[in-house]
Structure 1
Amino acid sequence: MTLLGRVGRALLWLVLLVLVLALAVVVWLKVTSAPRVSGTVTLPGLTGPVTVTRDEWGVPHIRAQASDEDAMYALGFVHAQDRAWQMDFQRRVSQGRLAEVLGKAALPQDRFLRTWGFQRAAQSALPALSPETRRMVRAYTAGVNAGFRQGKLAPEFRILGYTPEPWTDVDSISWSKLMAYDLGGNADDEILGTRVVKRLGEPGLNEVLPPYPQNAPTILDREELGLTGQAPRTGSETAALPDATLRALQAHLDAARSLGMERVPGKGSNDWVIGGSRTASGKPILADDPHLALTSPMLWYLADVQGPRLRAIGASIPGLPGIVIGRNDRVAWGVTNVNPDVQDLYIEPEGARLTQRTEVIKVKGQPDVRLTVRESAHGPIISDVGAGEVGPRVALKWTALREGDTTLDAFLGLNYARNWTDFTAALEKYVAPSQNFVYADVDGNTGYYAPGRVPLRQGWDGSLPVPGDGRREWTGYIPFAQLPHTYNPADGLVVTANNKVVPDAYPYPLANIRNWAEPYRAQRITDLLTQKPGGLTLDDVKGVQLDTVSLVWRDLKPFLLATQPDGDLSRQALDRLRGWDGNERAGSVEPTLFEAWLAELQTMAQDELGDGTRVNSLAVLNQLRQGGELCRDESAGRADCAAELRASLRRAVDGLAARLGPDPAGWTYGKVHTVASNHRAFGGVKALAWLFNHSAPTNGGTNTVNVARPEPGTMQQTHGPSYRQIVDLADPNRSVYVGSLGQSGNPLGNHVSDQQKRWAAGEYLPMSTDAGDWGRVQTLTLRPGR
């Protein structure tokens, strides 16, 4: 044999050896991290036996005999079995302890989290909870720790070289504080608004942050609220901030964005409830699909939890006890974000009394970092970044940082609600983030409530930072009985899609005029549900939930099609768009053209406000209708909106050609528009991304009902319906639900992504407590012991 031949054979054996070793490592990781799902285990802290029957999709059906606390213990146990890394990561986010395991790259995030004080807020909330909730939290905590003690470490722990600390009761509140940030407040709008006023004057606010259209649908109308006349409007107060301070404030937003905690156009939700007068069965149907970050693991964990009194099934969040969205045997509920204005930025005057504390941030492989956090009477000073003070001291006041947060009481109360009275009694304890709750029960009743603490302001609207000299203070909160609500509405329909909740006649300042989502989703849902005046079925509701027709295209179409093409590719794009019906399907070319063009148009304010600034679809429409100033860019030689349309189309098609080739016939949407369910820690690590990330082509686009906004640049979908449910109150076990990925957080688990294909295809799982609907099952029995 020649030398070359011997070398070749040696290399072949080396490659085979590496592959065998890699396979052995994978098998070892799978065996050592797979949770036990059958047989019997003895666990301390239980008062009686509990069975955990996982169905063919890995959804646990928990049956506790002795107490509801045992059922909650078991929920904590299965959360720890399937999502231990996710739970630990979430609490590290709340605690600002990411650098401890991820290194100095996570320092900006830890500084943001420690400065805002999420963990301190969680600690202050625990004593306010009712004794019943405290017992359930303690049982859940015991179950989580029992799961941790099983010794089945998730691969992430092994890769990073640490084990999770014991769970505490406060950890079960921490994640709710992060959700409150993710879904509530307008500090980011105040910062953007300040930049707009500084560059464009107050009239620029309507250009960049357009008010909600006067003729667009509100969730409740004047008749449902019993309103007459017109409520007085308050104005904004302009407060200038130097660029250095604005950059410091923006640094916090950037840190939050890197954690997926940002308000983006694709983040919102839809829910609606249909009364029996509109359904084929004569009983209500309730639908919900919260639009959040589509991460790996997915946010939600489907579960069916039953004890002597508890009968709840739906979507839970690992780390939180109870079902967050779902139903019990009598009542169903769904949620979408209200987004009232619950945050204010105060510019503290010289001489204002400040306290301070020192936070010690441990950094993996590096010396500890000491962070000084200052606070005023309003809240933490968030304009201090890194080296310290950079100018005016800007404090944050926010309902979620106030003491006495009893939101967890509310959610556990919903799990037990038997009727509207119980339901509203639970919601009276709700603090943040304010949500649109829709309601239905087996007796045929429907309802809606928007609970939460919403500040009252006298003489100012909270849309911009204000002086902290005592002249602009909260005077209380909107009384619970006066918050928007309705019970058995006459028209048998309540639709919410983050749109404006109430008409202008509502006497309380629920939100400033720029906080609402654009009305496209709400309008489309209402149109589809009212086109069939009676006889709506569960399948009809599925069709609405999965609808991908773009009303944004309908509004922009006449302006876009009037564009004069700049080159052959632009001409071909316009020719294709002329006959398009606006349905954004993965197999079509037209959605690719439209969404790429829209993304370019949304950058039209960058020459005025800097790179990274994006306006929404409504702002684009207003500019094109009015020949607005944002269309103009003297430095680029664009004098009007016609020039902006021509140039933005050219940029869009040139970018697509560079990415997909020169022939537009091959630019099908599904090639670029894929869901990116990426891992929070390893999603961007090339050596590991293949193991932890999951992707699939998806339908839908910007502001479609099945919302699937493409990210600028990549056109991937990173936010959307993280969970879907449709509850049929005529036969609750005929209800359906599905998550965006899978039950397991283990990348080597059997159920890590088995729901994703169903989710992308618009299919569902049975939301049933009947074992006959569960398919192949595995049962684990938990027995009390030492």
Structure 2
Amino acid sequence: MVRRGTGRGSAWSKWGRGVLWLVLLVLLAALSVVWWVRVTSLPQETGTLELLGVRGEVTVTRDQWGVPHIRAPSDEDAVFALGFVHWQDRAWQMDFQRRVVQGRLSEVLGEAALGQDRFLRTWGFQRAAGSVLPELSAQSRALVRAYTAGVNAAMRRGKVAPEFRILGYTPEAWTEVDSVSWSKLMAYDLGGNMDDEVLNTRVVARLGQPGLNEVTAPYPAGAPTILSADELPATGAVPAPLPDTAALPAATVQALQAHLQAARELRLHRVPGKGSNDWVIGGSRTASGKPILADDPHLALTSPMLWYLADLQGPTLKAIGASIPGLPAIVIGRNERVAWGVTNVNPDVQDLYIEPATATLTERTETIRVKGGADLQLTVRESRHGPIVSDAGAAAVGPRVALQWTALQPGDTTMDAFLGLNYAQNWTDFTRALQRYVAPSQNFVYADVDGNTGYYAPGRVPVREGWDGSLPVSGDGSREWQGYIPFGALPHTYNPADGLVVTANNRVVPDGYPYALSNPRNWAEPYRAERITQLLEARPTGVTVEDVKAVQLDTVSLVWRDMKEALLAARPEDDLSRRALEVLRGWDGDERAGAVAPTIFEAWLMALQGMARDELGDDTTLNSLSALRQLQTNGELCRDEARKLQNCAAFLSASLKTAVDDLSARLGSDPQRWTYGRLHQVASNHRAFGNVEALAWLFNHRAPTHGGTNTVNVARPEAGTFRQTHGPSYRQIVDLGNLNRSIFIGSLGQDGNPLGAHVSDQQKKWVAGEYLPMSTDPADWGQTRRLTLTPGLQPGQ
């Protein structure tokens, strides 16, 4: 006998089928939306397009990683095509970056971005960018014009990045000012002296002048400098000037701190351990007999990544390397004869002036449009030194503090310099291009196919007489810049005798240099430079590209080497601290994702770096060198009355317990399970949606990473999260003996669109220490897609 379903069973069956159909309909709708977004947002990469603005037939061949190889009959057409593919692949990034420069984020992000817009408008980044174009050479203007036309040609294709749909706006046409504007924000991102002056003001108020060297330790005597004494001009040393200050009320200091908070929200601020490495090895040291040049700039790791790999080949413009969407040049890379790399010099090019009550100020009113809210009228005041940054358009708080900065001054021809590097054929061309360089001052390393190597640190660096720029000074005229260091006197060397130049944001010159590039506390700690030099000098001859890769990817911590004795002397307060300390005793200092010791060490270091917070506030982080000096000298910063810690021995034990308690809460009570990669992961987050829970999964990218604080492969974990938010944003190694055997890699991928095929395909290789071929030979490109651009008719033709 067959049982028939009961009425209830039939009802449930019908309900279940209904739910199934509903799920299928929702899934079908979602797939339809994804298909529609892909069709309307992903660029055309094959076939032929007729475009206004291009003058000859251009081919854009994207290789298997999405890197475009552009072949054009004129240099202008090559740069036109660069603008075209930049907008195709990174439209949102480009629009966001120009909105940052313009201070127009609130228009699309709402009231939450008002503080950032106030900061950006007050500093006047867009006004400074607008003054650039008239200063550029005719050749640069022509290339900027061509690039701008290429961007607009891509925009007219009607493909819309998902971010524009989500935020509900249409981007405006690109302008020539937009094509140079991002360089101003790069100058700020690689600056930061104002942050130092604000911190130093707080230090002096709380700890006196001696506190400056306690909170930020001076560069150690005997630590590596980029140039040696025999590479300096034959002049006597200039005595180091003493800090000089006019006091600021606490309320004014707080106003300045609040103003700088907007830069932190934009991820444009100095981060401990943030920096870059580059070096060049002469042919006498290499297996090929020709130079090898390496570079890896350490910047914020974002989604999409900052850099865009590209290969441009016109009649005379033949450059391949890393470009920045929005800028019409290869910023770091090589051409058919010359290679170059950059790291940040970080000279002191910003000063805060406390303007007297009688100082003449000018005013302008700017309107900030706010999505979903009323417009804001912002009054910006300026003195002869620069914008008043102590009020940021709000009610004045105490003295009026102005900012003087080289990047805000007229006559910025930095774009001429970068475009000139793309064309350079020899050292003479290279240095002639760098004479046009203004900001941000960079350590440029150089190599050419003839076997020559060199180094130059160009840019405007102010000359101060009798004061060192580390603290705010009076604007009464007694502390003015006395011009800039002459170009010929800036640090440089050509074909150094030892065949090696290493830069890692360390001190540039030893005592004896006739100018002050910065104050003694302004340099990065020497650990990366020391480790790179140590590894390269261990192999004085026969160096290969593979050897250089190993150096670039090195994760051995010299910070641990220096701190080991002090840390292992700690007296554990409990069993968990004791077990953690035992893990460290046998550690070799290599910070790998699968190891436990790096987790404990970095967590402990974070706790140690906070030792000045009871004196200076929760936003104060010592660098590792300063923390070590306190431990070695039983310094006053170890004392913490609230926690009843009277000396560094007590602080050391307490900080170890703080660290292990934190790790136990995050990872469980068994230290053997505290592997580094569980916490230490690269966080390439989206600028707008990175913290929006509903969208972050689509736009953000995570992966466990190796390295730590001040390792060569730098990967400092962020305090509180252990995320890696800064690091080698791009790596390149150029073999001047065989240019097409050169290699490069970005931190994420070419596509900005989260639905693109190349949105993150470089990240896995980047984490694993692998590279892409930096080659202009089609045989190295793998499977390709070719798009041909041809001239279109003007309206009415």
| TM range, smaller chain | over 0.9
Q: Secondary structure at the match of 1:231?
A: coil
| Equivalence for 2:680 | 673
Distance of 1:358 and 1:266 partners within structure 2: 38
Q: Secondary structure at the match of 1:607?
A: helix
Q: Secondary structure at the match of 1:745?
A: coil
Shift of 1:706: 0.1
Deviations 1:59-100 (A, max 9, x none): 0000001x1000000000000100010000000000000000
- Report SS of the residue matched to 2:654: helix
Structure 2 matches for 1:400-549, cutoff 5 A?
A: 400-549=407-556
* Residue of structure 1 equivalent to 2:45: 37
Match of 2:713 in 1: 706
SS of structure 1 residue aligned to 2:97: helix
What is the one-letter code of the residue matched to 2:82? L
State the partner residue of 1:218: 225
* CA contact 1:266–1:291 (8 Å) conserved in 2: no
Query: What's the CA shift for 1:227?
Result: 4.2
Q: Please tell me the residue identity of whatever aligns with 2:555.
A: T
Structure-to-structure mapping, 1:140-539, within 5 angstroms: 140-227=147-234, 229-385=236-392, 387-539=394-546
CA contact (8 A) 2:407 2:439 kept: yes
Preserved contact between residue 327 and residue 333 of structure 1 (Cα < 8 Å): yes
Separation of aligned partners in 2, 1:601 and 1:297: 34
How far, CA to CA, are the matches of 2:748 and 2:166 in structure 1? Answer: 22
Structure 2 match to 1:682: 689
Note the alpha carbon deviations across 1:296-315, whole angstroms, 9 max, x for none. 00000000001011100000
1:56 offset after TM fit, Å? 0.2
What one-letter code is carried by the residue in structure 1 that aligns with 2:65?
Answer: W
CA distance in 2, matches of 1:422, 1:385: 43
Q: Partner of 2:66 in structure 1? A: 58
Does residue 27 of structure 1 match 2:5?
A: no
Partner of 2:630: 623
Alpha-carbon distance between aligned partners in 2 of 1:659 and 1:38, rounded to the nearest angstrom: 49
Distance in 1, Cα, partners of 2:308 & 2:343: 18
Q: By how many angstroms is 1:529 displaced?
A: 0.1
Pairwise CA distance, 1:636: 0.6
The Cα offsets for residues 376-415 of structure 1, whole Å up to 9 and x where unpaired, read as 0000000013532111100000000000100000000000
Letter of the 1:273 partner, please give it. V
Alignment partner, residue 609 of structure 2: 602
Measure how far apart 1:266 and its partner are: 3.3
> How far apart are residue 228 of structure 1 and its match?
5.7
The answer for the alignment partner of 2:3 in structure 1 is: none
Structure 2 counterpart of 1:47: 55
Give the distance between the partners of 2:170 and 2:652, measured in 1 at CA: 55
Q: Distance in 1 between matches of 2:237 and 2:365?
A: 49
CA distance in 2, matches of 1:378, 1:580: 52
Q: TM-score, normalising length from structure 2?
A: 0.98
Q: Displacement of 1:5 after TM fit?
A: 5.1
The structural deviation recorded for 1:9 is 4.2
CA distance in 1, matches of 2:436, 2:191: 17
Q: CA deviation at 1:4?
A: 5.0
Q: Distance in 1 between matches of 2:611 and 2:480?
A: 36
Moved more, 476-485 or 644-653: 644-653
Q: C-alpha offsets along residues 590-630 of structure 1, whole Å, 9 cap, x if unaligned?
A: 00000000001100000000112111000011001100000
Output one character per residue of 1:168-219: Cα deviation in whole Å (capped at 9) or x when no partner: 0000111000000000240000000000000111110000011101110000
1:714-743 deviation digits (Å, cap 9, x = unpaired): 101000000000000000000000000000
2: CA distance between counterparts of 1:320 and 1:535?
38
Q: Percent identity?
A: 75
In structure 1, what is the equivalent of residue 782 of structure 2? 775
User: Secondary structure at 1:380's aligned position in 2?
Assistant: coil
Structure 2 gap segments, 5+ residues each: 1-6
Query: Amino acid of the residue matched to residue 462 of structure 1?
Result: G
Counterpart of 2:339 in structure 1: which amino acid? Answer: A
Whole-Å Cα distance in 2 between the matches of residues 111 and 316 of structure 1?
29
**Are the equivalent residues in 2 in contact too, given 1:185–1:340 (CA < 8 A)?**
no
8 Å contact from structure 2 (residues 194, 351) kept in 1: yes
Moved more, 25-34 or 492-501: 25-34
State the distance in 1 between where 2:53 and 2:17 align. Answer: 59
Show CA shifts across 1:511-559 (max 9, x none): 1111100000000000000001110000000000000000000000001
> Out of 121, 125, 130, which is 2:128 matched to?
121
Shift of 1:236: 1.0
507-516 or 448-457, which moves further after superposition? 507-516
CA distance in 1, matches of 2:341, 2:108: 36
Shift of 1:238: 2.2
2:713 alignment partner, SS class? coil
Q: 1:254-304 CA deviation, whole Å, 9 max, x = no partner?
A: 100100101112321000000001101110000000000000000000000
Quote the Cα distance in structure 1 between the aligned partners of 2:734 and 2:238.
Answer: 37
Please tell me whether the aligned partners of residues 222 and 228 of structure 1 are also in contact (alpha carbons under 8 angstroms). no
The answer to whether the Cα contact below 8 Å between 1:33 and 1:152 also exists between their aligned partners in 2 is yes
1:68-107 to structure 2, matched below 5 A, reads: 68-107=75-114
Q: Secondary structure at the match of 2:482?
A: strand
**SS at the partner of 1:321?**
coil
Amino acid at match of 2:723: Q
Q: Which amino acid aligns with 1:650?
A: K
**Paired residues of 1:670 and 1:697 also in contact (CA < 8 A):** yes
- Give the AA of the match of 2:343: T
Q: CA deviation at 1:566?
A: 1.1
**CA deviation after TM superposition for structure 1 residue 510, in Å:** 0.7
- When normalised by structure 1's length, the TM-score is 0.99
Structure 1's unaligned 5+ residue stretches are none
Q: Per-residue displacement from partner, 1:346-385 (whole Å, max 9, x unpaired)? A: 0000111000000100000111000000000000000013
Amino acid at match of 1:580: W
Q: Does 1:552 align with 2:555?
A: no
- 2:9 aligned with 1:18, yes or no? no
Provide the C-alpha distance between the structure 2 equivalents of 1:240 and 1:24, rounded to a whole number of angstroms. Answer: 64
Separation in 1, partners of 2:406, 2:19? 64
What is the aligned partner in structure 1 of residue 587 from structure 2?
580
Give the Å deviation of 1:13: 3.3
Q: Which amino acid aligns with 1:25?
A: V
